[in-house]
Structure 1
Amino acid sequence: QNKTVGFVNFMANNNGFTLADLFSYCEKHNEANGEENADGSNYNFSINCGTEGKTTRKYVMELRRKHLYMALSMVFFAQGVPLLLAGDEALNSQQGNNNAYCQDNKTGWVNWKRNTGMEALQEFVQKLAAFRKAHPVIRKAEPMHLNDYQHKGCPDLSYHSDNAWAAGLPEEKGAFGVMYCGDYAVNDAGEPDDMVYIGYNFHTGVNELALPKLAGKKKWYVVMDTAEQEHAFLPEEKPAENQHRITVRPQSVVLLLGK
């Protein structure tokens, strides 16, 4: 990473599954390519959430939504340039084809028609992009040092678990918190950015993560919770009920601002 080149973060690109297919298929389905399904990668790191391909099962659809929202959150909240494959914000699917280079038809085309969950997902992506733009601390050009090299009171980037300042949760817990120190960036108004805390829970059970104590009279405010089915971004940010710990529901992401 450097100011000239930087790096790009993505979950899906044109060589592989679309983002929707990444959580809808365990296996590639390239039979229509005419190569007896031998083309395309066999290593897709995908999951079908219980049903291969299209389904109307509400549990499976909700689990796929959770995975989609977690994946997009990771891309947009990570330092570096976020890359979004065209159509991923519209739940575009190639029906499990991970090598659709020869499909000049509905399989290879982007489907922009409205479908279940599309509008909510588009709104979510728009708000992710807006949040990223509003908070320069998560898109700094310089590499993070993971220490307080400018004596701001906390590291520029830190990791947390059920104890603040310690990323020590057992692997089976599948959860951790990331905090960007806003004092290491200046917003458009010329003021220090807010503290940004992202709690990730990849586990099937509830996890609690510790929130670092903020300086002075600052408080933690919940901005986003992907466990909410209707609106992941809250209509209005609200003070965290517990200023020391945050509950992160199964397979979801919680976003807080400290200010």
Structure 2
Amino acid sequence: MTRFVTEKGDFAEQGPKVSGNDVLVSAVADIGTVPAVELYSRKDRKKIATVRFPKDSRVGSVYSMRIKDVDSENTLFRIRSGKKEYIDPYTRYISGNDRFGKRDAYGSFICPKSSVSHRGPHIEWQDVILYQLNVRSYTKDRTSGVKHPGTFDGLREKIPYMKKLGVTTLILQPAYDFDEVGEVSMDGVRRLNLWGYVPGNYFVPKPSYAAADPAKEFMDLVEELHVNRMEIIMQFYFLPEHSLHFIQDVLRHWVMVYGVDGFELLGAELPVKGIVNDPYMTDTKLIFNDIDEDMIYGRSTPRVMNVGIACSPFMYDMRKYLKGDEDMLGRVSKHMLYNPEKTAVINYITTYLGFTLKDLVSYDRKHNEKNGEGGADGSDYNYSWNCGDEGNSRKKAVNSLRLRQMKNAMMLLILSQGVPMLRAGDEFCNSQKGNNNPWCQDNRISYLDWTEAEKNRDFLKFVIKLISVRRAHPVLHGRYSKKLYDYISCGVPDASYHGEQAWNQSFANYNRHFALMYAGYYEKRSDGKNDDSFYIAYNMHWTGHRFHPPKPAKGRRWEILMSSGEGRESGIYDADRNELAVYQRSIVILMTKDAGSGK
């Protein structure tokens, strides 16, 4: 074996790096244990040398050394401490792990340099439409039509589709190099972890998500998104033992090297305040789940609003309302307008953890038998409704109701004042066959079936139009909370609740219908003119109701813009009687138009 000259290293910076003809490497070891560096040939993975850290190269539990005259481009390494062999957690580049399900990585001394030249668009929260996806399952199915399925390049090929859909910001399930080789299930089968909510090589894009060089492919993805005025947010899962210092180093690395626009942070006991107060994160979006904004800011108000809080109560309450539960109007009406001052609120009806939208209206209970846990995994609290038939149905009435319910769900989500988050595939009725926890299903249960986009093209067009309506009208996604009174003396409040009669709301526990009106006077469109006014009638009752909206301003008239129903179920507005007939379990949007014209 080759012998190398060593000397004390640099403790100011962690992680392997090249310094001239030398390499610097560090390691953390238990007191009394002196670690070593195993060097390997990149070409054939044969061990070149075992290099022990000098005894005087320790500060606390951290060792650091300089290894002289190393061919850094053709040499790989691992750290050995006692019987344990591992990769330095600060490693920026690895070789191996390029096949999903096989872990054979070595650390590299190479540090990738950023090639992302276009800065992120820094979209304001009120203009964001989030789109949550898994890199592998999004394009892995052969129906995706991409050149490299299941990769960053495959995702990049879908940017035109996502732009047409109208989403602005992607949220990727873990795409760092997590360990996908899972535990053995109850049935004795070792299943792969498709989701990635486990530790891993946090500084490295997942090699098995790349067709070639993972660092370059990920940078190319970010660059293309930024060119198209779109953003990318990454999910990271941290353990309680991960220090604030380590978490900050990880996040800073992904911002400065890969140009990502934000993070959704998951895990127990996260040092939330320390993450938010990091000056490097000031204009980076940070999403946390179900925490109180006062826990972050107390009584102070942030100078820049970059924090979003994902809101699971919205999901549960909207699901209950969708299937017609009683006593929901009070909570649902508040969710529709909730738009806090200090943080953004992230609303969703479906997410990776649970049913898809199609399954939410097709199954009363989960069907997780293939997960190998005897059906014990996954939540039993889905608040779903199969519309009268479990699973796939050939009944026309059932399928018609399911379609209307999916449209209702999209309207409840996208017409809320908070930031909407769509689960990828919901826009074209993707199904997981009733599995609400497919973390281990690296197969067609999890893979998106892109033939559904064509089969359900009318529903996809509906979602595209709904998103475009939201984005075109600031009154539907304002920066500030609605005040519910007339504070500009225009004659109507900025937002108002209504029952069947104008200005007469009734949130009695037996009611399942109400209306919201947004006055266009309070927001300006991009052309500088006042926005249009909207009257949205929500009816989750199993019988129809007739609404009488407030009279529009002089020279304006109400007109049906969109409805979750079709044909005779789409709603009828009688202008002479100022009456809107809303079909059972449906939502209708009225918008003001110039009276006497089609404009």
Establish whether TM, by shorter chain, passes 0.5.
yes
Does 1:187 find its partner at 2:525? yes
Q: Map Cα deviations across residues 182-217 of structure 1 (whole Å, 9 max, x no partner).
A: 111000110010111111111111101121012222
Q: Which residue of 196, 207, 230 corresponds with 2:545?
A: 207
**Letter of the 2:472 counterpart:** A
Q: Partner of 2:482 in structure 1? A: 144
The aligned residue for residue 249 of structure 1 is: 583
Q: Secondary structure at the match of 2:359?
A: helix
Asked if the contact 1:219–1:243 (Cα under 8 Å) also holds between the matched residues in 2, the reply is no
C-alpha deviation, 1:7, in angstroms: 1.0
CA drift at 1:144? 1.1
Q: What residue in structure 2 maps to residue 217 of structure 1?
A: 555
Q: Deviations over 1:3-33 (max 9, x none)?
A: 6631111110001000110000000111110
Cα RMSD, aligned residues only: 2.2
User: Matches of 1:225 and 1:180 in 2, distance apart?
Assistant: 17
Match of 1:76 in 2: 414
Per residue, is there more strand in 1 or in 2?
2
- By relative contact order (CA 8 Å, sep 6+), the higher-ranking structure is 1
TM-score of the aligned structures, taking structure 2 as reference length: 0.41
Q: Distance in 2 between matches of 1:39 and 1:114?
A: 28
Deviation, structure 1 residue 239: 7.5
Report the more deviating stretch, 206-215 or 18-27: 206-215
Distance 2:490 2:340 in 1: 23
Q: Check the 8 A contact 2:561/2:591 in 1, yes or no.
A: yes
- Which residues of 2 match residues 1-259 of structure 1 at below 5 A? 1-2=339-340, 5-114=343-452, 118-168=456-506, 170-228=508-566, 240-242=574-576, 244-259=578-593
Give distance in 2, aligned partners of 1:90 and 1:140.
28
Q: Percent identity?
A: 38
Q: What are the ranges of 5 or more consecutive residues in structure 2 without an aligned counterpart?
A: 1-338, 594-599
Question: Aligned with 1:111: secondary structure?
Answer: coil
Is the 1:80–1:141 contact (alpha carbons within 8 Å) kept by the matching residues of 2? no
> If you compute each CA radius of gyration, which structure gives the higher value, 1 or 2?
2
Q: CA deviation at 1:231?
A: 11
**Equivalent residue of 2:525, what SS?**
coil
CA contact (8 A) 1:137 1:184 kept: yes
1:78 CA displacement: 0.9
Alignment CA distance shift 1:216-1:152 (3 Å): same
User: Which consecutive unaligned segments of at least 5 residues does structure 1 have?
Assistant: none
Deviations 1:75-130 (A, max 9, x none): 11110211110000111111111000100001111111137861011000000011
Q: Distance in 2 between matches of 1:11 and 1:243?
A: 36
Find the aligned partners of 1:231 and 1:136 in 2 and give their Cα distance.
Answer: 28
Normalising by structure 1, report the TM-score: 0.92
C-alpha distance in 2 between matches for 1:173 and 1:222: 23
Distance in 2 between residues matched to 1:2 and 1:204, nearest whole Å = 33
